[in-house]
Amino acid sequence: LSSPCGPRECPLPAKKKLGGAHGLFPEEPPPLSVAPRDYLSHYPVFVGSGPGRLTPTEGAEDLNIQRVLRVNRTLFIGDRDNLYRVELEPPTSTELRYQRKLTWRSNPSDINVCRMKGKQEGECRNFVKVLLLRDESTLFVCGSNAFNPLCANYSIDTLQPLGDNISGMARCPYDPKHANVALFSEGMLFTATVTDFLAIDAVIYRSLGDRPTLRTVKHDSKWFKEPYFVHAVEWGSHIYFFFREIAMEFNYLEKVVVSRVARVCKNDVGGSPRVLEKQWTSFLKARLNCSVPGDSHFYFNVMQAVTGVVSLGGRPIVLAIFSTPSNSIPGSAVCAFDMTQVAAVFEGRFREQKSPESIWTPVPEDQVPRPRPGCCAAPGMQYNASSAFPDEILNFVKTHPLMDEAVPSLGHAPWIVRTLTRHQLTRVAVDVGAGPWGNQTVVFLGSEAGTILKFLVWPNASALGTSGPSVFLEEFETYRPDRCGRPGGSETGQRLLSLELDVASGGLLAAFPHCVVRVPVARCQQYSGCMKNCIGSQDPYCGWAPDGSCIFLSPGTSPGVLDPHLSRTLFLLLLIVAPSVHGVTPNPEACRVSQSSNGSSVNCYPPAKFPRQLPADTIFLSVEFFNLTQLPPETLQGIPNLQELHLSSNGLETLSAKFLLPVPQLKVLDLTRNALTQLPPGLFQGSAALHTLVLNQNQLEVLETSWLQGLKALRHLDLSGNHLRTLPSGLLANFTDLRILDLGNNQLESLPSDLLRGPLKLERLHLEGNRLQALEGGLLEPQPNLSYLFLSDNRLAMVAASAFQGLKQLDMLDLSNNSLSSVPKGLWASVGRPGAGRDMEHGFDISGNPWNCDQNLDDFYEWLVCNKDKMFFRNNTYCVEPKAMHGQTLLAAAMSHLKLKAGVEMDRNGLAEHCTPLGN
């Protein structure tokens, strides 16, 4: 290895001094590195050159690029009057050239009509505004065609036309300056654009495929008010459209722009001949909230760009860039949105304006018709097609497209905020698999002028989904003025049109009006000769090689190359690897070690083996996703201060009874996803400090009380995902501080009556996904602190009347997907009522049960109505019996029954007198 590189031998690359942030925001740190502009001349560029020619023909027009589409290793570029096919492999040093070119000009007749309508000659051309992959062999292309849009299919290989042209109306804008989005799903084309020459009629439109064409309601400001369409994604059974528009719900004199997400059902077939015929019956929209929290939120209202749906920590996420209006404090922010939270908002309250002079208010739940407006009809449901919906539902959808609540961003705050006036951020790309192990997340933000800001972020998938501290890794340029424009050309030629990650080449494709530039995601070579600088860059794409160079680390890079990304204060430590259980010869491998004032943390990744020599002050050790079948008793010797040990996703079949003796301070042991069938008695005799034990997804079929002896401080026990059929009596009798018990997703058919008796302090109990048929009285009563109870996906047909007695702290109850048709009188007396403790503040779920909605549920109905605002999936909790009520929601049945019983009409507020503690 080379020297550690002291300051005299190897100073860090110079950092450019950047302008300060606006005074209302904290000053933002500069990037760790600024790439020299000299690198620009080395980036491959496409400017219209064809085979065998390095530059375009003399006198040729500059490109006027509108759309870029990458299909595997081929790039399709939609220009003015032209479509290019460019192969991305093999990469060339300075030039990207097309292999095929399609010229598609407007005919003279269309051009003449365009000119007669007052348009300039340069506008009356055919600008490619839709460029999509229709199937594996076909491109679907639409052009503005001199303000008379056309669409056509072309061969992906030859660019030869396939069939005749079709009208581009409602599929493509007339004016090339207008924004539009389009995507194919299940053979159907979904577009968001304008349908007329004057761009007055904005529309979300479905065409082609085997379902009828549909559109949004025409000239209705409740549906659209001057929208600017940004992006569309397919997720689940819906298409989601992201756009910004003038808000109608604020009673302001000036126009207020807000960002929205709207969705439609893919299988929508439109309404009846009376209401919403040939129009969406499922269109709903909601505001997106990207704001800095405080006493008064600071909103970034102007959406600029949105990514596709990516998976971060198991969550389906989209990232979006927002900016402030042009007359506000300049700034940009990146917010993340969980698609499950987006979908949840569309299950919430509606907002309405009862008259043009009144303010917008939430619609009372009892005024919302059933089934819920905006839902997707399907065979087997109450209505098997949207055209069968009653007029009441269709009229409600037509007049109430806006949801009351906004979609919150993950963490309720932006992940990145930039208020430097020199960077108006307009494009975003994200790599959720950066680095050699594919476990880092890098966000690339593009400014209007083509400057890229590169950030390393640590999304926290748990809890609120907030992002940890981000690191501003690098700033670099992508626009090549020597190739992308001509002297005296328009400044609009430097406007960044799109930014796409090309993982296979380790690059970004940056499209401008006159060129496309391929830029590497990292410039690791600038750190060569100095390991300290390579590591100090914190760039997950860069690694220090044994030959003394800093090289690019692509996913799957050989383990012989060291990964420098350690986090802010980390350094690299080589560990000598012990022979594996299979007898592999020892080899030096890389583990990542971080140091803090408390001790060292060590993370090891395959294909390394279990480390033999560890820092004596190690407090955290993670050796996960290996192929370990056993570990010798002395494995943990020499690290007596270890507090957390993570051994998940290995092949461990057994453990030695002496395995944990060397680490008496261990607090957390994670053995998730191994092959353990038993634990040795005495394993935890020296583990008095252990408070978290995770045995999720092993092969345990039985449990012995002796296996868990010695766990005096245990607070969290996770036995979920095993094959447990029974539990021994007295299993938990000696645990004095147990707060969380997870027995979910086993095969338990019954529970011992004394399971929870003892000095437990249980707050959360997971029993979901078992085979329980009854919940007996007295089982839960010893746990007055129980706040969360999960019993979903069992076979419960009976719950004893006293089952919930004494649970005065119960915040959440999940009884969904069982076999409950009724519940005994008095069951709910202890929970969710005024004076009953915590008032079920986090909600309950009783959906997926075959409810018999007869009149034997009087007190349950009363409890249900009083707590309906806390009920999950209230629109999907149905009556099965009696036959006359089949398909009616349980809540509607409860409301009807109570109104009939009272003999008066009751509204939401009129129920207050009934909401008193039962049994009093």
The 3-class SS string of 369-389 reads CCCCCCCCCCCCCCCCCHHHC
pLDDT at 918 over 50: no
* 793, part of any domain: yes
- For residues 792 and 478, what is the distance between their CA atoms, to the nearest angstrom? 53
∠ Cα 363 379 388 (to 5°): 55
* 577, part of any domain: no
Boundary residue ending a domain (722, 751, 780): 751
From the CA atom positions of the chain, what is the Rg in Å? 32
Encode pLDDT of 193-243 as tens digits: 999 888 899 999 999 999 999 999 999 999 999 999 999 999 999 999 999
- For residues 836 and 824, what is the distance between their CA atoms, to the nearest angstrom? 18
Range of the domain at 818: 772-920
If asked whether residues 646 and 708 sit together in one domain, one would say yes
Residues 6+ apart with CB under 8 A from 485: 62, 493, 494, 514
If asked whether residues 686 and 792 sit together in one domain, one would say no
If asked whether residues 792 and 917 sit together in one domain, one would say yes
Domain count for the chain: 2
What's the average model confidence in pLDDT over 655-663?
93
If asked whether residues 745 and 831 sit together in one domain, one would say no
If asked whether residues 844 and 881 sit together in one domain, one would say yes
If asked whether residues 654 and 744 sit together in one domain, one would say yes
* 698, part of any domain: yes
Residues 6+ apart with CB under 8 A from 895: 366, 865, 906
Encode pLDDT of 597-648 as tens digits: 788 888 776 655 677 788 889 998 888 777 788 888 988 999 999 999 988 8
Sort residue 784 into left (φ over 0), alpha (ψ -120 to 50) or beta: alpha
If asked whether residues 662 and 798 sit together in one domain, one would say no
If asked whether residues 850 and 723 sit together in one domain, one would say no
- For residues 375 and 363, what is the distance between their CA atoms, to the nearest angstrom? 17
Q: What secondary structure does DSSP assign to 623-686, as a single string?
A: E-S---S---TTTTTT-TT--EEE--SS------TTTTTT-TT--EEE--S---S---TTTTTT
pLDDT at 411 over 90: no
Q: Name the residue among 857, 841, 843, 844 with its Cα closest to residue 890.
A: 857
* 163, part of any domain: no
Encode pLDDT of 339-369 as tens digits: 999 999 999 999 998 887 788 899 998 899 9
Boundary residue ending a domain (751, 784, 810): 751
pLDDT band, very low/low/confident/very high, at 19 (cuts 50, 70, 90):
very low
Boundary residue ending a domain (706, 722, 751): 751
- For residues 505 and 88, what is the distance between their CA atoms, to the nearest angstrom? 8
Q: How many helices (H) and strands (E) does the chain have?
A: 6, 54
Residue 908 sits in a domain whose CATH number is 3.80.10.10
Residues 6+ apart with CB under 8 A from 379: none
pLDDT of residue 915: 60
If asked whether residues 712 and 787 sit together in one domain, one would say no
* 882, part of any domain: yes
* 545, part of any domain: no
If asked whether residues 745 and 800 sit together in one domain, one would say no
pLDDT band, very low/low/confident/very high, at 511 (cuts 50, 70, 90):
very high
Q: What secondary structure does DSSP assign to 557-579, as a single string?
A: --TTSBP----TT-EEEEEEBPP
Encode pLDDT of 169-202 as tens digits: 999 999 999 999 999 999 999 999 999 888 899 9
- For residues 518 and 459, what is the distance between their CA atoms, to the nearest angstrom? 28
pLDDT of residue 466: 44
If asked whether residues 720 and 778 sit together in one domain, one would say no
pLDDT of residue 588: 30
Contact 315/341 with Cβ under 8 angstroms? no
* 564, part of any domain: no
What sections of 174-214 are H helices per DSSP? none
Report the percent of the chain where pLDDT is more than 70: 85
pLDDT of residue 873: 74
Q: Provide the token pair at 46.
A: 């496409």
Residues 6+ apart with CB under 8 A from 309: 233, 235, 316, 317, 318, 339
If asked whether residues 687 and 777 sit together in one domain, one would say no
* 364, part of any domain: no
Q: Name the residue among 293, 174, 182, 305 with its Cα closest to residue 232.
A: 182
Contact 243/262 with Cβ under 8 angstroms? yes
